[in-house]
Structure 1
Amino acid sequence: MPLPNHSPGLLQGPSLLASIHDVSPRSESPVDQLSELFLRHIGAPRYAMLVVPDHWGSAPLVRGSPFATRLRSWADSGVEMFLHGWFHRDTTKHGSAGARFKAKHMTAGEGEFLGLDYATARDRMERGRALVEDVTGRPVTGFIAPAWLYGDGARAAMRDCGFALAEDHFRVWAPQQQDRVLAKGPVITWASRSKSRIASSLAVAALARALLPRRPAMRLGVHPGDVTVPALLRSIDRTLGALSKGGRFGQYRDLLEMR
């Protein structure tokens, strides 16, 4: 299914791709707050939402619910929608040392698609895509795994499901174009689950504002938990302001038009 084009032209010069992760009924209020922050800098709904169909198995996206209506309204306004897992919770017993390290140290038990087999990954992707597209009335832009962690089964399922775009910590790629890399560079993001992670993410964001070279398709991702820490909100505000100077906000779908 072709993606609708809400944004004219290609990404040119220093541009920023902004996204709100973990969008679900349980995060509606924080998502509202983060959306307002984005709009103050962007001026239009040129950002993405990563939608979780049933966050931790306790916050299902229900057709016809008030939150479903809200999600469709965001999509109608131009916000891009990505499928972001199904549960956003990792219940797999990982066999390899590498996978166990990623599951333990790169996420707080939320790398849902890191250890899934092909059949399970494809089933969750297909059901999630159908639900989000039915609720929003338009195709999803792509699939982004929770915690940006993909196992072999998830990568194969993502290609076979026909998702146009995916991303991890360091790149955006096109699964339907032999995994062609569309953008490189780390995602600027924040962490709120411990004092040490708060401090380190504040430091990294400050360095990014000061030192990162401006390049096309720089990425910034925020999470509902960020709103619980005033220092993180101030940092996000400053970073959005700094990175938007001299550039323009783009959308992920624009990357498919770049050569």
Structure 2
Amino acid sequence: MAGSDRLLLASIHDVGPRFEREVDTLAAAIERATGSTRFAMLVVPDHWDSAPIARDPAFQRRLRGWSDAGIEMFLHGWRHRDDQPTGFKARHLTAGEGEFLHLDEAEAARRMVEGRKLVEDVIGRPVAGFVAPAWLYGPGARAALNELRFLLAEDHFRVWQPTDGAVLARGPVISWASRSRARIASSLLFAGVARSVLAPQRVVRIALHPGDTGVPSLMASIDRTLRHFARTHRPAGYADLVRERDMGAV
């Protein structure tokens, strides 16, 4: 049984009409492996300008239903697409999807404000926080994030509160890549190592993406990894980190 002092934070990225079927598959995988519906969804208002939530009432109802069931909703950019994918991070850490890596503060703030309003209007409650696509934040995005006072944010190596910069959890997020055979192999290797190396971590984060569902070996690794950590870490929400901090546990 998972220890109550150790937390497992699972999340599904790129949630939107374009990947509704894949999101269903991943949600079922988390519930099956952990026995819990405590996880987060990262919502993209209009993925690559081809899947606008604003014009899809049926998906809006699904999003509201998930939120009503207790699934945390984060804003995950606006379009998930980087119009100027230059530099090492843009070329090697993502396939042209680091939307907030090169935006200036004004444009980053505009997308954050409009995205937050859209998602909150749909779910009827505040978003849990903001996570940049591909976990990549440029200076403009960080400045906007601080000004807009989102409750939570995360990158590859930490979860923090933009309101005051307090770090609530540290350690690499476990995720899988499906873009090439080499990336599949490396992510399978990393997940295997992580199951041992990250075992002592108080907070373990696991992030799933729609592309994972198309690769059986990745889905098997995801299931194995979720089940492994669910035995030692309690499935929880990101909001639990805030509550712990408020109670003086962080």
Question: Is the TM-score greater than 0.5?
Answer: yes
Q: How does 1:169-248 map to 2 (within 5 A)?
A: 169-177=156-164, 179-248=165-234
Aligned length: 243
RMSD over aligned Cα, in angstroms?
A: 1.3
Does the aligned pair in 2 maintain the 1:63–1:135 contact within 8 Å? Answer: no
Contact 2:39 / 2:72 at 8 angstroms: preserved in 1?
Answer: yes
Partner of 2:129: 142
Q: Is it true that 1:73 corresponds to 2:65 in the alignment?
A: yes
Does the CA-based 8 Å contact 1:188-1:221 persist in structure 2?
yes
Q: Which residue of 2 aligns with 1:32?
A: 24
| 1:19 is aligned to 2:6 | no
| TM-score normalized by the length of structure 2 | 0.94
Runs of 4+ deviating beyond 4 Å? none
Q: Counterparts in 2 of 1:92-103, with a 5 A limit?
A: 92=84, 94=86, 100-103=87-90
1:79-90 correspondence runs (5 A)? 79-90=71-82
Inter-CA distance 207–155: structure 2 relative to 1 (3 Å threshold): same
> For residue 55 of structure 1, what is the aligned residue in structure 2?
47
Q: Deviation at 1:212?
A: 2.3
Write out per-residue CA displacement over residues 12-38 of structure 1, whole angstroms, 9 at most, x where no aligned residue.
422210000000100000000000011
Mapping for residues 108-127 of structure 1, pairs under 5 Å: 108-127=95-114
Cα 1:162–1:242, aligned 2, differ >3 Å: closer, same or farther? same
The residue type equivalent to 2:182 in the other structure is S
CA distance in 1, matches of 2:56, 2:186: 41
Gaps of 5+ in 1: 1-10, 95-99
d(CA) in 1 for partners of 2:233 and 2:203? 10
* Identity %, equivalent residues: 58
Query: Counterpart of 1:50 in structure 2: which amino acid?
Result: L
Aligned with residue 161 of structure 1, among 148, 159, 167: 148
Following superposition, the deviation at residue 247 of structure 1 comes to 2.4
2:211 partner amino acid: G
Contact 2:99 2:133 in 1 (8 A): yes
**Greater CA drift, 62-71 or 165-174:** 62-71
